[in-house]
Amino acid sequence: MVVRSRFAQVRGHGSARSGAAEHWRMKLTSYALLPLTLFLIGLVVALAGEEHPTIAATLGQPYVALPLFFFVFVNAVHMRLGMSEIIEDYVHSKLWKTAAVAGNIFFSYATAAAAAFALLKLSIGV
């Protein structure tokens, strides 16, 4: 049994079958960001007023760098998902939508790669 309106059946439009997966990915990343953001806020408060060498040494510790790396990666995925949803909802031109989605993917993962490189450079001196 097909659960679509007559108009949707005639036009051939219906569910893209990806909405639930995107929704759950967004919820999962938002739940993962909760403790990671609290860790980041605590770290910023603890390092407030410290000198640059102390901050660099603290960020270079593996028990600090690893949660920060996870924060950067999960935040990039969450940002990509959220912006993709906004782009798909509000950009109507096929060309602009394709360009915006490609730019969104590039921007989110390029910023995550830059932040991950900075963390690697601090932690192992790449």
Q: Would residue 12 count as lying in a domain? A: no
Query: Taking the C-alpha atoms of 26, 63, 115 and 86 in order, what is their torsion angle to the nearest 10 degrees?
Result: 10
Q: Would residue 14 count as lying in a domain? A: no
pTM above 0.85, yes or no: no
Number of domains in the chain: 1
Q: Would residue 7 count as lying in a domain? A: no
> pLDDT (tens digit, 9 = 90+) per residue, 103-124?
999 999 999 999 999 988 888 8
> pLDDT (tens digit, 9 = 90+) per residue, 11-42?
555 555 566 788 899 999 999 999 999 999 99
What's the CATH number where 60 sits?
1.20.1300.10
Q: Would residue 13 count as lying in a domain? A: no
Q: Would residue 10 count as lying in a domain? A: no
Whole domain around residue 90: which residue ranges? 19-124
Q: Would residue 115 count as lying in a domain? A: yes
Closest CA to 123 of 68, 73, 82, 72: 68
